[in-house]
């Protein structure tokens, strides 16, 4: 019996070593075919723009095409679930944004956000800006609050999806100011901003990157920064929190992969994404377009911990704002 047991033990060790060798070899040759980078929004928004800049850089870095595929809808759930169910081989990736951390508090999901993904790297913050149509008779946050109180339920705010940071910012704003406004959700930043520009919606707590050109051109008026600190792109613009005590919303942008993706592949992706996103030309291009580029992208372990904390933080914001979805 002993020789047989010993032989079995040796076979198990050999099999494990062979498997590890195959995984390492596979990771070294990764990628050997095109990679799909899923953006869970419609084309034209901030996440889409960043994804296309990143895809171009990764294509050059890998020598393989990185294709951007938009799968918008359901506050990113459609695209996110698609990647959660994809083969864990590194060839299907997700641009994960703040909604990734919000959705567990709002929706019954078919996946566990913290277990279904490996959070590869975080490279951007996500700045939001309160903008109104130029015809709105308010030039600062205080005047907007007074206008909303004088016309309860008449003013509208467009967001890039139910449960999005832009939606929750509006809900928190109403709760803290005692105002009542009508929420109009869209499938992405681009159509929500377009309706404010056209005057079909009064205002939006919009992603800074896609709305900044409209602020500069005068097609919308900016009244306040949504984050706790002023935006580097608009240093003279006050935060909403300077007027409304306790108001602050922040966000993030990163890359996720299905959770069972081999560690060597994750490490390869992490290194390549950080290399691309810290390239001075890429950083300059994104900053000029309004992106909140991190000085130091978060590697996988730090991003994993960050997302766990964000899920808890947004759970409290959702509860405090009293937000519920059908």
- All structural domains of the chain, each given as residue ranges with its CATH number in brackets, are 34-125+251-321 (3.40.190.150), 128-242 (3.40.190.10)
- Of 27, 20, 24, 52, give the one whose Cα is nearest residue 38: 52
Exposed / middle / buried, residue 256 (Cβ in 10 Å: 0-12, 13-18, 19+): buried
DSSP 238: P
Instruction: Tell me what pLDDT residue 19 has.
Output: 47
Question: What does pLDDT average to in each consecutive run of 10 residues of the chain (326 residues)?
Answer: 58 51 63 97 88 97 98 93 98 96 95 97 91 98 98 96 90 95 91 97 94 96 93 91 92 95 97 96 88 89 94 89 78
Q: Is 127 left (phi over 0), alpha (psi -120 to 50) or beta?
A: beta
Instruction: Tell me what pLDDT residue 8 has.
Output: 59
Residue pair 255/120 in contact (Cβ under 8 Å)? The answer is yes
Exposed / middle / buried, residue 35 (Cβ in 10 Å: 0-12, 13-18, 19+): buried
Structure tokens that stand for 209 in this block:
């990157």
Instruction: Tell me what pLDDT residue 76 has.
Output: 93
- Of 112, 101, 124, 155, give the one whose Cα is nearest residue 318: 101
Helices (H), the chain: 2-29, 46-62, 77-84, 99-102, 141-150, 165-177, 189-197, 208-217, 263-277, 280-288, 300-321
Instruction: Tell me what pLDDT residue 1 has.
Output: 47
- Of 15, 53, 241, 131, give the one whose Cα is nearest residue 7: 15
Say how far residue 150 (Cα) sits from the centre of its chain.
Answer: 35
């Amino acid at each position: 019996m002993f020789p047989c047991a010993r032989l079995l033990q040796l076979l198990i060790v050999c099999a494990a070593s062979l498997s590890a060798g195959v995984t390492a070899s596979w990771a070294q040759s990764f990628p050997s075919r095109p990679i799909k980078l899923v953006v869970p929004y419609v084309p034209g928004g901030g996440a889409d723009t960043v994804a296309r800049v990143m895809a171009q850089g990764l294509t050059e870095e890998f020598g393989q095409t990185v294709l951007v595929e938009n799968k918008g809808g359901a506050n990113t759930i459609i695209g996110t679930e698609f990647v959660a169910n994809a083969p864990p081989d590194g060839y299907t990736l997700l641009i994960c944004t703040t909604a990734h951390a919000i959705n567990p508090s709002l929706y019954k999901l078919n996946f566990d956000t913290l277990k279904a993904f490996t959070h590869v790297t975080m490279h951007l913050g996500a700045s939001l800006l309160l903008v109104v149509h130029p015809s709105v008779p308010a030039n600062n946050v205080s005047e907007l609050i007074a206008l909303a109180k004088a016309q309860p339920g008449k003013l509208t705010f467009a967001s890039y999806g139910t449960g999005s940071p832009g939606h929750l910012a509006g809900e928190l704003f109403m709760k803290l100011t005692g105002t009542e406004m009508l929420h109009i959700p869209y499938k992405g930043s681009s159509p929500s901003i377009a309706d404010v520009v056209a005057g079909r919606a009064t205002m939006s707590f919009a992603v800074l990157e896609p709305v900044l050109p409209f602020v500069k051109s005068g097609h919308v008026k900016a009244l306040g920064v949504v984050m706790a600190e002023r935006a580097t792109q608009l240093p003279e613009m006050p935060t909403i929190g300077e007027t409304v005590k306790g108001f602050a919303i922040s966000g993030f942008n990163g890359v996720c992969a299905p959770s069972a993706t081999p560690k060597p592949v994750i490490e390869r992706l992490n290194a390549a994404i950080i290399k691309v996103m810290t390239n001075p030309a890429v950083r300059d291009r994104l900053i000029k377009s309004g992106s909140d580029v991190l000085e130091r992208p978060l590697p996988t372990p730090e991003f994993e911990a960050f997302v766990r904390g964000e899920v808890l933080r947004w759970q409290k914001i959702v509860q405090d704002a009293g937000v519920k979805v059908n």
